[in-house]
């Protein structure tokens, strides 16, 4: 059986749809998950969110071992986490980084990115559609 595609979401993404819709849109994380489930094309998803850096590192390691690919929105850990960078560097499956907003067009503190140098690809600024693009790519890359 094909291995699952892991969709990993970092800190505060559980708040999507409740605040700052002008930046992050109106969809909740459950809405994003449900839309992805309609596009799985027979594949299975492990869709998760955590506010914990260590848990996110554990999940990256798990996904590298048990998954086919990782779609990762690391939230603010994107800009701070060398631990996450190291876990991604050790990863043996494709990693597609996703951001709802485009951090490159935002505050100076979002210009540091520890995920992108260890990722296969980055999609930013497309809102929830970025997750769809990432899933389509992950499915094709691991068919």
Where along the sequence are the contacts to ligand CA2 (CB under 6 A)?
Answer: 12-13, 15-16, 18-20, 24, 73, 75-76, 78, 99-101, 103, 110
Candidates 77, 85, 99, 132; catalytic one: 99
- Sole residue written with tokens 């999609």: 123
SS3 70: strand
The span from the CA of 66 to the CA of 64, in Å, is 6
Nearest to 93 by CA among 137, 123, 30: 137
Q: Quick one: 115 or 139, whose CB is closer to ligand CA2?
A: 115
| CB of residue 25 to ligand CA2, shortest distance in Å | 9
Q: Quick one: 3 or 79, whose CB is closer to ligand CA2?
A: 79
């Amino acid at each position: 059986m094909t291995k699952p595609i892991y969709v990993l979401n970092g800190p505060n993404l559980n708040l999507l749809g409740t605040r700052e819709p002008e930046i992050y849109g109106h969809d909740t994380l459950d809405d994003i998950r449900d839309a992805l489930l309609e596009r799985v094309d027979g594949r299975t998803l492990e869709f998760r969110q955590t506010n914990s850096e260590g848990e996110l590192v554990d999940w990256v390691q798990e996904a590298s071992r048990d998954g086919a690919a990782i779609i990762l929105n690391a939230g603010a850990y994107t800009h701070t986490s060398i631990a996450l960078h190291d876990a991604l560097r050790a990863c043996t499956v494709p990693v597609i980084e996703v951001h709802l907003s485009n951090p490159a067009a935002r505050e100076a503190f979002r210009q540091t990115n520890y995920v992108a140098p260890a990722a296969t690809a980055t999609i930013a600024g497309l809102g929830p559609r970025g997750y769809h693009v990432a899933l389509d790519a992950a499915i094709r890359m691991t068919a």
